[in-house]
Amino acid sequence: MAGRDSAKRRVFAAVFPRAADSSQPTPVITPAAKFTTPGQAFGVLSPYGHDQAPSSQKSEQPSRFADDDADHVQQQVQWDRSWHTVTHFLSFTEEQGRRNGSSRGTKSADAAFAEALANVLNPSVRLPLAPHTEEILPWYTQHVRYHFLDKVHPKFLSSQQEQNAGVLLSESIKILEDAHRQYFQGLSMIINQIDGLHPGLGKESVDRFRRDLHAIVSTSITEEFTAALKLVITSYVFTYLGIKIRKEHGSLETTLESVETDQSRNDMLGLVEALHRVDLADEKFQVIFAEIMKDAMDAYVYCGYGGVWSAGNVSEVENHQAAKVDGAPEYSPVPRTVHRNRRSICTTNLCEWVENRYSRLAVEVFDKIGIQKVTWADVEKWKEMSIGRLAMLRTNELFDIVASWPHAAGALEDLRTAITSPQRRLHLTDVFASALKERLLHPGASTLQILQTYISMIWSFHALDNSKVLLDRVAYPLQLYLCSREDTVRIIITGLLSDTEDSQGIPVAPGGDKLVELAVLLNQGTDQLGQRASEDELDWNDMEWVPDPVDAGPGYKRSRNADIIGTLIGVLGSQEVFIKEFQGIIKVLELLKARFGEAPLQSCEVMLKDIQDSGRVDGAVRKSQNLDHNEGEASINQTNLNNDAEPALHAKILSRLFWPQLPDESYRVPDEIADLQKRYEVGFESLKSSRKLTWLHALGQATVELELVDRTIYEEVHTWQATVIWAFQSDEAGDSTLTRTIEELVEHLEMEESLVRSALNFWIGKLVLHEVEKDVFAVLETLNQEDRAKSNAQAAAAAAAAMNEGTDETEAMGDSDAQMEDKMQMYWMFIQGMLKNSSSQMPLQQIAMMLKMLIAEGFPYSNEELQEFLGLKVTSGELELAAGKYKLKK
């Protein structure tokens, strides 16, 4: 059956030589065909089978040719037969198993093949007369190509149906490997001979063959194969490099070297070796490998370091690393191009990884493939790449890093190490600015939140780049936005004023509804000032000095400290806004002064100093005037106010120019007080020459002790209230019926009536005085039932009166304001000057406008009030009003 089929095929092939067919017993052209014997196909010498043909030819040839041609024919025939033997021997049959391996036949057959091969390879020497010879190598190449396409390729394709990438790959490679082995076995036989004949020629031939074969094989590589290859290599590379894809979370983690990684390294190298054997470790493979390595680096950086910011996490790694390099001299794997003065753990780690694992794999793979060596420069480049990746990662994370300040110091350190070029710095600020805009600067974020972020930003960026250039670049939109928020200043102030400790003395944790951070900063902020002072000139001893960053703008001024408060306040326009807010707040003043400088707060400063100094001066004056220990003198013993001693007089000395105008009432102070004041004055003027003391009588406090018949009353009162009650002291003891009328009091005390009334109301409220009849008051020495009831009623009435008339103490003072009178007098001068000189008659509007514009400290009255005032002047005959215009009366 097989014999018949093959016979048929041979017949067919004899007429139409099939290119793919393996065996060509004779050359295509008939060797020496002067004629053809009947029954033979022209041009084809022997269509017979392998076994019969040689024998039949052998029997025919001697008889067929003439003598002179006999040698030629003989040699041609011999060559033909050698060719046949060789090609037959080399051709691949279906039953490869039989011909495979070393058991390729008997020894005699091998010998015959060797003989034949020698003939074929070297016809010019061995068979010089054979006119038609051919090269065996091109034939072999051709033959291999046919065989591959015919037999191996279909098999290869069928193997691509496999689903499992690993199996697919190993199957495919096995097929290819088999084919390769087969092809090269044949080749090696030829080459052996060639080497024997022409040393050196063999290698060239092998190369050429290899190239041809590679061309054939590579065109037949399928996409499935490539995909599988990618998959398998990726898994090997990732495993080896310690990047683990966790199925359950879909997340990645990095692992350290282990048996598992070694295993995959070996697998990987085995695979590469196999690929190399079948010539598939070509450019395509290298591209795939390169892509995978790049992905691996991305994955390692992004998964290994993404979100790993804390220094704590890193320190553990550092320990590991320290253990590793223990004993070795200090060596940093970080490339020279990055900052090394403060090493960042992540970068150090990453560089180590690149050096020890990444590069190692690359070196080994390259070694297997047999292409150029990996140089140290390459490794450096990879390190830089990895750091670049890290920088990218951190840049994208920066907003979150900032938000988690101060827990992300490690990440900032990474960035600091990695952000070295202006391009990266620019990229960083761009990315951050857009993140800021997207995530913070919208109406959904509270001002507090924005401010907190801003503070974190200042800290973080200062840690990142203490030149402030980066911060300035990103902070501008934020500042602009903050200015548009109305409550910014208020929140900052609240923050500054908030308590840094709660009532138990436990520090308040930041992050509440106040910017406690600010208060903390303010309270500890002295150390920053020293730095500021030395900012102006170069510190020649500063070993950490670096030039200004290249991307610093013009007018850039280096400031080394992260001056949060200064920055915050500088942002929001003028310091005055804040100073205004702070003027009354003594607690903060000192600190603020340190921050803003002396000048703007000078008057506050003087006011404070006055109060402070007053204590001292007071002490000094009292001592010098012997006002302290004068109980013994007790000259003023008859008063109810002071039984044992003259009253102690303390004064606060204010510098008039720096204080706001204080309202004052002048009245006659009690004699003993006046006496004390005089002595005090003398003492003061001797202490501070060329200073004069002016008493503001109404602004004091007095402690009054009233000894009444049935009770003693202690009161802390205003001096004018004390003065009024002083007026009731009994000249003669036991005179309980002492009464005073308001008129008397006004006259006696030289005090405004409203003030007197106010004081009287006060004492009635205290049940010390009672109104005997209208405007006549007496001391309520004893509180009997009746009096009590009476005074109760009066107290209620007094309170009601005070309420109704609104004549409470301060208003009583405000109403009868002498300074106001002075002011009005001055305004009157203005009006006179105006009417006299500018224009002899003016309407109310114009007068008001002139006054408003010309009086430097401002004209506080409304047009109606002015009109009233002018009306008074008209009635008093100083002005006249005609046709709506005021005019001076001549």
Binding site for other proteins (CB under 8 A): 826, 829-830, 832-834, 836-840, 849-850, 853-856
- We find the least distance from the C-beta atom of residue 598 to other proteins, in angstroms, to be 24
- We find the least distance from the C-beta atom of residue 842 to other proteins, in angstroms, to be 11
**Residue 481: left (phi > 0), alpha (psi -120 to 50), or beta?**
alpha
Q: Which is nearer to other proteins, 341 or 837 (CB)?
A: 837
Q: Which is nearer to other proteins, 623 or 836 (CB)?
A: 836
Token output for 480? 């602009």
CA nearest neighbour of 355 among 372, 335, 337: 335
- We find the least distance from the C-beta atom of residue 849 to other proteins, in angstroms, to be 7
- We find the least distance from the C-beta atom of residue 752 to other proteins, in angstroms, to be 24
Q: Which is nearer to other proteins, 278 or 834 (CB)?
A: 834
Give the phi and the psi of residue 730 in degrees, each rounded to 5: -75, 130
Helix axes 863-875, 818-833, angle to 10 degrees: 80
Of all helices (H) and strands (E), which one includes residue 201?
helix 201-219
SS3 letters for 690-741?
A: CCCCCCCHHHCEEEEEEECCCCEEEEEEEHHHHHHHHCCCCCCCCCCCCEEE
- We find the least distance from the C-beta atom of residue 851 to other proteins, in angstroms, to be 9
- We find the least distance from the C-beta atom of residue 872 to other proteins, in angstroms, to be 19
Q: Which is nearer to other proteins, 375 or 840 (CB)?
A: 840
Inter-CA distances, 425 with 201, 402, 403, Å: 60, 16, 19
Q: Which is nearer to other proteins, 690 or 837 (CB)?
A: 837
Burial class (CB in 10 A: 0-12, 13-18, 19+), 444: exposed
CA nearest neighbour of 641 among 651, 653, 649, 650: 649
Question: Measured at the alpha carbon of residue 256, what is the angle toward residues 250 and 257, in degrees to the nearest 5?
Answer: 120
- We find the least distance from the C-beta atom of residue 831 to other proteins, in angstroms, to be 10
Distance of CA 557 to the CA centre of its chain: 22
Q: Which is nearer to other proteins, 803 or 829 (CB)?
A: 829
Q: Which is nearer to other proteins, 829 or 872 (CB)?
A: 829
- We find the least distance from the C-beta atom of residue 879 to other proteins, in angstroms, to be 16
Asked if 292 and 233 touch (Cβ cutoff 8 Å), the reply is yes
Of all helices (H) and strands (E), which one includes residue 245?
strand 243-245
Q: Which is nearer to other proteins, 793 or 854 (CB)?
A: 854
Q: Which is nearer to other proteins, 550 or 856 (CB)?
A: 856
How far apart CA 809 and CA 721 sit, in angstroms, is 9
- We find the least distance from the C-beta atom of residue 847 to other proteins, in angstroms, to be 10
- We find the least distance from the C-beta atom of residue 661 to other proteins, in angstroms, to be 15
Q: Which is nearer to other proteins, 111 or 818 (CB)?
A: 818
Helix axes 345-353, 283-305, angle to 10 degrees: 150
Decide: helix, strand or coil at residue 330: coil
Asked if 244 and 252 touch (Cβ cutoff 8 Å), the reply is yes
Distance of CA 846 to the CA centre of its chain: 61
How far apart CA 777 and CA 773 sit, in angstroms, is 7
- We find the least distance from the C-beta atom of residue 886 to other proteins, in angstroms, to be 14
Residue 804: CB atoms within 10 A of its CB come to 8
Q: Which is nearer to other proteins, 41 or 826 (CB)?
A: 826
